[in-house]
Amino acid sequence: MSVHSPVLGPIGILGTGSYLPERIVPNETIAARTGVTPAWIERKTGIRERRYAAPHEAASDLAAEAAVRALENSGTAPEDLAWIVVATSTPDHSQPATAALVQHRLGAYRAAAFDVNAVCSGFAVALHTGARLLAAPEADGRRRRALIIGADVYSRIIDPADRRTAPLFGDGAGAVVLGPVQEGYGLLGTGLRTDGRLHDLIGVTAGGSRMPATPKTVARGDHWFTMRGRDVREFVVRELPGAIAQTLTAFDVHPDEIAHFVPHQANGEMLRSLAGSLGLTRAVLHLPVERHGNTGAASIPLALDHAVRADGGPAEGDLVLLAGFGGGMTVGTALMRWGGVSG
């Protein structure tokens, strides 16, 4: 069952931003490494290309670039931030938190900063966390703004010869600024669920305290990301429709009222085939996955920023539904009424 939480007070998205690295990696490059064809990749995934970070770029660099754009879009100065929350499963280092590095890059020294890791559901968890912090009674009324970022650099943990994962993943970052909006707008609530019995479907075996890095673990390829693709797909098909239905029921919203649906950009083919079972018959499905692939925790804010900046994006008063799913196994949803930004 999901844990559903209403947001206490009108807290909404004031601005969005995203960043994709410059290097474009087309299907032809991936196909040559994995022994498949470019057409096979596109047919199986709906992806045509993905972006890879430059050698000097890490998760914090991508996150900071997206953050700057979100701050500019919302008219927020770094010193006005109370919180910085970064969702990532590919941090710069095991410690310190990537959010601390982002804070330093931005000069947002008045903000508390920390990371969350719920893999590809991470942005939904970070959004929930930031909204609850801002809505708390003890929140600083003078600085009631939070920067919520999803950033991942999967190109560093993907085996380039693995046909199960290499075609799917790319690098990127997306960000939103949360803050007060008019009554009746903003986040209506969130839904989060985890089934730890399935924790072994997705993961990186080595590099943590269970299996520290050694020459042997590197030689065995234990630091590569692995995924039991068929089982993961079964999980999504089984769990996502119910999680969405429970969220809408919890906040008394009919599926036909949803105007925009922004899911985790896991696999375009899977999401298109699943769309009919979600009941969101009138919603615009935002699916720019063909241009950047699965970017982990970055994929929802990337897709949201793309929708906001494109024709046909959310209009004032539209109901928008976000949904993530990923390792753990986790599902996270967020329901909001778009707009209500003063000024």
Residue 264 is a catalytic residue: yes
Q: Which of 4, 73, 294, 306 is catalytic?
A: 294
In 3D space, the residue among 322, 297, 13, 334 whose CA is nearest the CA of residue 191 turns out to be: 334
Are 320 and 260 a contacting pair, CB within 8 Å? yes
223 counts as catalytic: no
Q: Quick one: which of 51, 27, 7 has its CA closest to 298?
A: 51
Distance CA 101, CA 30 (A): 32
The DSSP output letter for 278 is G
* Residues 342 and 182 sit within 8 Å (Cβ to Cβ): yes
**Beta-bridge mates of residue 85:** 114, 148
CA distances from 8 to 11, 131, 190, 212, 326 (A): 8, 8, 11, 42, 27
In the residue annotation, 267 being an active-site residue is answered as no
Instruction: Give the active site residue among 73, 120, 286, 292.
Output: 120
- Tokens 């075609």 appear where? 167
**Which candidate in 4, 264, 286, 306 is catalytic?**
264
The token pair at 78 is 């770094």
Positions annotated as catalytic residues are 120, 264, 294
